[in-house]
Structure 1
Amino acid sequence: MSSTKSSRPTSTSSSLMQEVVNALPGGYPESIQPPTSNQQSLSQAVYSRRSEYTRPKNIKIKVGTWNAAAYKGAEKDIAWFVDGKGIAEGLTDLTVEDESESQDDAASQDRSSLDDREGVEDQEARYKKKKSTLPKNDPGLLPGGEDIGLYLLGLQEIVDVNSAAEALRPYTDPSVGQKWKSEMEAHLPRGYKFVAEQQLIGMLLLIYATPDVAADIKSVSTTSVGTGLMGYMGNKGAVTARIVLGETTRLVFVNAHLAAGTDKGAVERRNWDYGQVMSRTKFEPISDSMGLSQNIGEGIDDADFAFFVGDLNYRLEGIPGEDVRRLLMLHTRNEYDLSKKQGKKVDKEIARNQASIERRRENRTSTDSGVSQVSTVRSREDDDVQDEDIDAEEALDAVDDPASLHTTLSSLLPHDELHQQQKARKAFQGWQEGPITFLPTYKYDAGSVGVFDSSEKRRAPSWCDRILWRTRRDMLSYESTIAEEEESKRKDEEMKNNGMDEAAKDEEMLYDYDPDEDADESGSYDEYDDAPPGTVITKEGFADEISLEAYVAHQRVLSSDHKPLDAIFSFKYDAVVPELKSKIHQEVARELDRAENEGRPNVTVVVDRPHSNEEGISDDDPLKFEGVWFGEVRYAMHKHRSLTVANTGQVPATVYFIDRPVGPGQHPGTSPSWVSMKIDDGTGKLSSDLSKRTLEPGQAFNVELELRILDVSLARQFNEGIKSMEDILVLRVENGRDHFIPLRGTWLESSLGHSISKLIRIPEGGIRKLQRQRPDSSKSTASAGSAIDDETPVKWSAPRELFRLTEVIEELTIRVTAEWGMLHDPSTQPPPWERFAGWPFVPQSWTCKDDKERHDRLADIVEALDTDVSFDSVFPSDISHIEKLESLAEFFIKFLSAMDQGIVPKDIWTQLDAGLIKQEKSKLAQSAEEQRTWAQEILSSAPSHSISFILITSMLDRIISETITAITHNHPALLAKSPPPATFLVTIPQNLRKKNWAKDGKEAWRQGVGRALASTLYGAMIRGGEEEGQKDKEKAAGRERKIRFLELFLL
């Protein structure tokens, strides 16, 4: 067990500066004072990034209280608190929520070992002062030991406070408190840290924590308030501790001993003691880890979570003590063997109290209804029915059983003074307490489990010892209720003063009130409007949670006339990681210092760093780039980055993005063509409006940057090094300095956009392998030109990419048409090739309609081509074959469209087009085979282009054959009519549809498919043919010749 002094250096969250400027966390002072405002801007900027330097933690807090009544050796029983021992399970309704299965198993084992626990009679028989009175072999029924993160123990009367020597001692004797500390530390698990202590005569407060929780504790402050003799002596009052947990959460622990007595004025004196403790308790100012300190200290009301424990001395009011003692001992007698001495003593006390009750009845003419109620509860001795004789099916729940402990306690609690005072709002306003399911904790005969005061004073049992807690949410809710009531009273008084006529008008207005129409538009925002139930927004703006898991008395602790009491809380809080906070603080401070210019707008731009595990992002970027770093960028790949623009100055700032300076060939405007910008003003909705915005001090907005290059011509420019992936954004601050935000990325060259003459030079491994082998590739951050040049040796007769694409499309077409009938019911779900001519190349037929999803697949296909890996390896595992095929078909068209010079270059098409025109004019009929031979002779002048053309047309011919075969097999009736229906030909533009159809239905359907494919692909394959200045009719004739040219090889 290690200990540290409670006066050790401490700190808390930097947003505690709201105390410096009398504002809420992140707020700003009404009057502008440069030093304070500057610091507040820094605090707000750091606070806005709190998610980066805080981590959530979950712990259990055990809070205990015990009046030791100055009994010697009572400290020997400390295991009741640390290990959860000394609980009489028959005298309490104990429920503990364990969070793990292992805890459940351990608890089950503990309960099974209760049979080995020492009996009540043997325990009482060996009662000796200065010895532990806990039952032997007690496994403990509450979580303890290492399960608890924070222990708080409040003790009262560790010395005799009624002794004049102690009460008037000018100092507190620490020796007794040291005994309790030594016992506590001896029972705590190894490694627990001492956090704080405070003693005032007989009151002692001890706090211990696990090592990891202790590391989160800062700003420890302890103090005492005496309310005893003359209102200031320490025989009564409280000892209190304040800690800041995780630099985010204020916790306050109050251990109190309030005024005793049962006379008429005792309750008011207890209430006065409570008020004195609340008003006079002041802690030392909090200093945070950044060296900022509050001007004044805080009080209990400033806590986020406060625990008020101790011997509060509130009694049971309006009910005779004899009735209560007898009633409760009818329950405690069940813990005893009535044939033994201890059991007989209980019965003797019951009879003694019964006799007193009878005498009182004889001396009065009427019966008190409250006494009658509790006196008519029958004891088990009065009943002839024993527990074991009760039929299980007839047994009542404790709530309904008039003889149950639950019913007994429920009948007594309305007489509890504390509850009455809370209801009357005279004390403990806004505080809450767990359900009381245990016997009153006072007053017992020392050395007994269940014998209430048998001395001549025969004090009435009461719940003197209590554990209450209050969250900041509870306090604000109570204050809001009071304010609303006061406002209501004020309005009532105004109505009375204005007379009945005015009152009637106000009443009419009240009933005509419409919240939607009449509500004050400028109503204040409640920080709990958006907070889920059970969540507490701390003073620093963090969301913490607390819940009560157990609240129980330890009935089998015998060494005092009070029974100990403890509660277990589950607690979730956000803890600051100092190293991360320091780093973020330095980053923000550097930006603020750089932009600091008193009297002028001051804006800070924070670039959100991408995750290091994102593809293409490396923490060891050689350039240590501080702008917007997009990492490695490839075609169709989506990238998202964001900026935060915050007004960190002292005056409003008007900001907007201006056109950036551009060089030759650069796209003008506020951003480059490859980046789109949208702004989120905090509403959650993105806007493309980049016009002026005025930010108040502390306000901010986010700029969302999206990058996805789908423009093939842009990709080609990046490939060739014509364009560089390096640019800037310029944020203009009116009357301030401009902010230049660099943009940078590394373009990964793609096979997309290259000509056939370059594609045939790409070796196995793809163009990416070639780019990586380039000597200057490691130094490039933007683009340095293509990895392919005329000196690169030729590797293939036609582009390998084209071989791969045509092969996989052909294979998938065969597979999809073959398996459709096995996966679908063609009668209810006809395949797309029966509904759309030109499938799978026409967009109308595609299964996937989501643009983002299709673009992501395009990016994957490009990556597979460029890195020479299988297409299956890049597709998601759950994608169907038809979706793969349609994605590849979509990309195939883009690949051909992007190809420099195309499949049929302009010069070759000029020869072919001239020949086709000549044939039309000569009106000499040639067979299709003769025309194909003629065309191939011209194409052969460019062998790579000719082979590529044959690859594509062969693939298309196979697709036509497979789809027509599939239709013939599944729906032969469809092929009976010529021409095909208009719904099938909807994919062909109206001006490109055939006019003359084959009479044979099957051949006509083949013509329809061929025409659809040709009209879809002619523009992607053939270059040239349309000259500037051509008339529309000439252009239409030229398009028709291109389509008929492709049809030669398809039909």
Structure 2
Amino acid sequence: MSAPDAGVLRAIIRPTDTVKVLLDAFVVPGAMDPATGAPESPPDAIALLADADRVKRASEDPRNRRLVAVVVHSQGTEEGSVFIMRARSTGKQLEQSDILRVFPVFGDFSISMAQIRRTTLMDSFRPSTTQPAPGFLSLTISQADAASTNRTPLTLYTVQAEIVRLLLAECKRLKQLADAPSAPSVAPILTTFSWLAPYTARRAPLPPLFHIPQDLRVARTPLHARLSPAFAGQPGDDASDVLRIRDEWIRVRAREEAGVGTTSLRIRIGTFNVNGELPRQDLSTWLGMQPYTSQQQAPIAPALTPLVTGLRKETYSTSLMSPGAITPVLSPVSPEGPTAPITPTTTSQPSPSKPSPSNLSSTAPQVSSPLAPSAHTHSPSARSSASTLRSKLLPEEADSARPDMIVLGFQELDLSTEALIYSGSSSAAREAAWMEGILAALGQGKNAEKEKGEKATGHYVKLASKQLVGMLIIALVRADLRSCFDEVRTAAAGTGLMGVMGNKGGTALRVRYTPPIGTTSHSRAPSIISTSSAKSTSSSATAVSSSSSAAAPTASQHIKPKLRKPNSTILTFVNSHLAAFDEMYERRNADYNELTKRLKFEIGSLVGGPGSDVLFSEVDTSLDVIPPTPTASSGAPMPPGTTCGVFESDVTFWMGDLNYRIDAPDADVRTVLASDDWEDGRFEALLQYDQLKAAMRDKKAFNTFEEGKITHFPTYRFNAGLLKDDLGYDTKRRPAWTDRVLWATNSFTRVQQTGYTGYPLYNISDHKPVSADFTVDMNVFDLPTAEKAADKLYRQLRGLEDAHEDHNSRVDLKIMDTNVDLGKIAYHTTMQKRVTVKNIGKIPCAYRLVALDDESAVHPDWLKVEPMTALLLPDELLQITLTPNITNDAAMRLNVDHKDLTCTLILHTVMGKDHFVAVSAEYVPTCFGNSLARLTRLPGPIRAGGELLAEERAVNAPREVMRLINWMMSSNIRMERVFADQADESIVQQIRECLDTGDDFPFTPSLNEDALPVAFGETLLRLLDSLPEPLVPAELQPLCVLKTSRDEAFEMLDSFAPAAVNVWISVTAFLHYVCQSSSDVEAKTNRVAALFTPVLLRDTANTVSPVGRRNFLLSFIRG
């Protein structure tokens, strides 16, 4: 080995640091364990005495070469560290990614040398000369790695004895300096040795390119909100902020550069609280194997033949067959003809009308399916025939709509007392029973895979399951996609009795999905669709993506890489059963938060254990494979004991009996569900009182998640006995949507819900099952290319972290437009101005917007600024977009004080100085967002200005309201489509402008025109909704709902303010006129009441009876 040239380190060693000693060495990789295939720990020097060939191969293999450098930092006092770096070809500059380990000479640091001479070993090094064979030296270094908590000693080998002596002497000197009494020997390494941060930070893996995705709670938070608190002249933790901005920038750019297209995965999720019962009905409709369009048309599902469970007869009232006698039971499909193609249920289907008792519950006798084989066909051949018959009944078009993955969550699977204490055969048998019911519904028996082949088209295989007492989660995937799923992990946690018992809690499943690289024309595997760009559309991604850059082309400009190893997506599924009873709202929130902390997946592996840093040498550089890098997800396995939570995932689905109730009076809930009057908007009205929605709004629980639109009836609680109402709900339990499915996703994975419904046709339990269909769209990129791109981008950002120390590399940002005039800005109007910024420095720089002080906002509420933070390369331009945003809240304030608007935006350059942008605008007042009292005291149109009239001179009702009503009550107006059709926004804007300016409406009433009256009606509704206080004050609403007759309702008007009385009478008279003009008076009346009740009697606290509020309004509309 020749002495290395210190010049190869020039690109990575900072000017403030000096290389004192540089040694050429090599490592001996560990052998592969023949039993597990995992690499073993590297051998020690003594063990290698008997393996001369292995040492010889390691010394001659250039991939095992290492450079050992003693680097000294001199600023006040000397501090040193030993760097271990991967060696490159002769003369090639090292890069930051070549730094493998950093050992600070500090505290417990130790370095030892051993000289080993053995004739048989040295002969392998000796050329064919008469000179004596040289010995080799081993160096063993021990110290906590500055970039991690790794304390694994590292052993290297060399023949450069003289340089070894210099290295030992320098390390001894530095150790004495570090151990001197004045040295802060108790300080953490990265506090005392802060100069190492730039070296070690560059080695930190990027979360999305690593084994564990970024926590969804962080990923869904805008980037600027993740940065440290900072104000004008008071920067926060710039060193940490620049790393966050840098990592986000690299995360997005690397994916873009490696992007090749997109792929999708269809997932069906079901949840069912089975109340301790066994499956006795065909589950095919719930699993999506049968069409299901609406609850009104849904038939009662026929009973399944009792399944073999191995349970004792006393645990199940019906007779059980002997083990092994299970027959797959087919769906209730007529064998006389083919079925219609299966199509996913979508949320766009019309809301179900009033249900009848027969379609929400049933006491129908439990009979076998009409297609169930007779008792004498309980044989493998019979099972095969049954599956064949199902295949004939379900055509290929229907099969193509089947989900790729099915995940089912069960609650109250086992209600026995024994199950709480120990896990016995009863719980396992119940899981087996439901599993057989699932397979029967899928049209396949237990041995379907063996009978039809491992990858039979349309068949499913069980991926995993996890049970905790009554909670069970089961995942099935299509057989032809089974190889795409791996790294399956499960977890469970109890939150029941004493906070730990399993009667309540959750079970979870985590799986990695890797899309197939290619798909044949006849395969149903998800195919990768090539696109010109695989850019993320997230706000966080946009915030760190520059608008133009010559140095970094966008995804659409670069040539798409070859797909060698596609990236994977982590999917997590949680099934939970939270605390019961209406009043246990806070306990349910606590259960959720407890589960998010305690549900942990064990993801550690023995692969890459001690000495794994030398495993880089196992990659054959002659192949078309990119070696693992510090940002790589491959080659960086998790150490044993490593765990991750449910949010460390690309997508997390949460299902189960969440037990959240409806905080509305019991009688109101039943009236809304059963009455024809509430057919329009019945679910929306009740969901305002839903506890889960409230918990999400108040960020007490599930605020990270989303939920699709609910268009099905509450799924709890049903009663098969006498104590039930006309819909089948238990009279002692208020109906509620206890059974829910939610999801959360990061910016690189898009989830579209295509179906969300309940199934009242099942009467197994006091709950109804629920299903949700999803399409998960994922960007596909080549993982090795992305890892290489990330390393390249790291090097491209060299100097960004050092800007606060390196005086020759100051960040320098220039604002092209420091004064921006937005002109006139108005209510709900859209316009934009852009501010151009340029990086005129020699190194990359990042900026963030900060507030003036801790009592100020970053920008006023009437202005939207994007991006709030960004990173720019040298000479790169970026445009900051300024968008006026006059909402109701902003208009309420600005209408009172609408002087010229000014503000100053402060752009803090991270590691640099602050820049200022002065923004000015002129607010154009509007009648929207004003109180009734102020509208009645205006001397004229609001744009005309002038002092407010004295209270005694106020008009009886706002001119704007009366103008709208008077125009619509003209004799030449057709009212049939008013409050029924969607309004034309351009017409609404014209009407609003006329109200504000006092100009005449530029429209001529016509009996042949529907768009105009529809727009006028919509404008009236929005004007009333913009009032700061509802027309009926909140304090009067509890009294209003007590009025049971029209006369009592009119007496209530005496308590209203004078202006409110006049508006109320005028508006309700107009609404009466609209309803009476309709061809279906009652339907129109209910529609209008549904629209105007939450506006005129706004109840933001959701404490007043919804039925009472609506009845009060109907007392005036019906006449």
**Is TM more than 0.5 here?**
no
Q: Could you state the TM-score of these two structures normalised by the residue count of structure 1?
A: 0.35
Greater strand percent: which structure? 2
